[in-house]
Structure 1
Amino acid sequence: MLTTDYALSAGESKSLLTIAVVLNDGENLDQLKRELNRLDLRVDHESAYKESFRLDTREGQYPS
């Protein structure tokens, strides 16, 4: 679990979100891609050196 006092080691990664999708009969991959493109992701990160970073996929939003 990631808590405010948790620190990743150099090169370590954590999966924060996993989305599992099953296609039903009659659905196609293009439909699924269109639906997944509707999702946005925002990740705020602070390094051990108190440097802040942001990843934001919302339209018109850019990393700071």
Structure 2
Amino acid sequence: MGLDAETEDALWAVYDAHPQAPEELVAAARLAFEGQLDGADAARRRERIARWFAERGGG
């Protein structure tokens, strides 16, 4: 299992800013990584999908 899109995007942003990555960018990448590890990103994705189906009369 690889990184989710949020984490991947955050890490690429830090890479692109290297070697002058601002502290805010590093902090955002850290939060994205923590969100993947603790399941918060997956929970938000499931909620988004459920809301999408509910809006269309499904699920």
Q: TM-score, normalised by structure 2?
A: 0.28
Give the structure with higher Rg (CA): 1
Q: TM-score when scaled to structure 1? A: 0.27
